[in-house]
Amino acid sequence: MLHWHVHGSWSTAFVQGRHTCLLPVLPEGGPWGGGRPAAWDWPAQAQEATPAQMRERADEIDVVVLQRPEEIELTERWTGRRPGRDLPALFVEHNTPKGDVPTTRHPLADRDDIPVVHVTHFNALMWDTGRAPVRVVEHGVLDPGDRYTGELDRAAVVVNEPVRRGRVTGTDLLAGFADTVGLDVYGIGSERLREAVTHPDVAIGGDLPQDRLHTEMARHRVYLHPVRWTSLGLSLIEAMMLGMPVVALATTEAAVDVPAEAGVVATDLEVLREGLRAYRDDPELARAAGAAARASALARHGVDRFLVEWDRLLDEVVQGAPARGRRDVEDDVAGTDRPPGRLEPAL
């Protein structure tokens, strides 16, 4: 299949499957030809290919997994095959809609030959996808292991580009939370945070390699997810898998993804601050909530379930195989400790 490296953590789970993934690589790199990422360790079936190599191997490509509208034209240019017509295709929608959200129309809404695969049920609900077939395959995350120590009576926060994205990532809320518990903020662009937040108890953790980031996160008593508008932050799922209790805004998919025993999810800022205080002051309470968070995240977002559902979709699109029922998926993941996720029929 043809697949671009766009979202590192999502793609890291996706390329663990049984399929060979051709990753476009261009001499200048950039968003259309970055090849394999340097920050993640990907398996051998994730292979780089230049446009010339893709043209030579065009007959071997049985599906393209699109993630940006521009990739439709690039695929045709590089392979000589049109996604959705000469080449089976799926479009993964990672993002929440922007603009006038209730009526935001998806770029593929006027096509019925390329299914749109949402990563959350919230996204499927909020996007206007018109005639496009719709599927939902919830996130799969590689288990980083139970690393929780909670030795620091502070909260970890992971947000990318907190200054540029501002209210989207809840950057304006950080100072208020820091009045309750000290915050260490990690992520791409976090080094600019002083431009927006000057609170003395907001520290910048920087953009760390993933394994080191996970270790640092797990040293904190609690994970804070202040993001207002995102599909479902993979760092939130990773924090739960690390065994961390979480305090999160009850917005988008986070509102239903964190069970009550695993953390505090609310839209009332005082309730969220009370949650931070409770976990800061009671390490045993924090550890118990973190254990519940880990169990929930492994069950709902384990990579085995994720890959089974993706195999099902790819088979359906490539072979025109009839969609299998829920029992078939359950049989596929039998023997694992993770129940199957949810696959929605076409809407």
Show me where the domains of the chain are located: 2-136, 152-301
pLDDT tens, N- to C-terminus, the chain (347 residues): 999 999 888 999 999 999 999 999 999 999 999 999 887 889 999 999 999 999 999 999 999 999 999 999 999 999 999 999 999 999 999 999 998 898 999 999 999 999 999 999 999 999 999 999 999 999 999 999 999 999 999 999 999 999 999 999 999 999 999 999 999 999 999 999 999 999 999 999 999 989 999 999 999 999 999 999 999 999 999 999 999 999 999 999 999 999 999 999 999 999 999 999 999 999 999 999 999 999 999 999 999 999 999 999 999 999 873 333 333 434 444 444 433 333 333 33
Q: Is 220 helix (H, G, I), strand (E, B) or coil?
A: strand
- Determine the pLDDT at residue 278: 98
Do residues 237 and 301 lie in contact, with contact meaning Cβ atoms separated by under 8 Å?
Answer: yes
- Radius of gyration for the chain, computed over Cα atoms and rounded to the nearest angstrom: 21
Residue 31 CA to residue 222 CA, distance in Å, equals: 34
- Determine the pLDDT at residue 257: 97
Cα torsion angle, 161, 174, 275, 254, sign: negative
- What is the model's pTM? 0.89
- Determine the pLDDT at residue 156: 98
Residue 6 CA to residue 316 CA, distance in Å, equals: 24
Residue 119 CA to residue 117 CA, distance in Å, equals: 7
- Determine the pLDDT at residue 301: 98
Q: Is 252 helix (H, G, I), strand (E, B) or coil?
A: coil
152-301 folds as Rossmann fold (3.40.50)
- Tokens 């839209």 correspond to 267
> Reading across the β-sheet that carries 246-249, which strands appear in turn?
202-206, 183-186, 152-158, 220-225, 246-249, 263-266
Residue 331 CA to residue 333 CA, distance in Å, equals: 6
Q: Is 95 helix (H, G, I), strand (E, B) or coil?
A: coil
In sequence order, the 6+-apart residues with CB closer than 8 A to the CB of 345 are: 323
- Determine the pLDDT at residue 8: 82
- Determine the pLDDT at residue 39: 75
Residue 180 CA to residue 224 CA, distance in Å, equals: 12
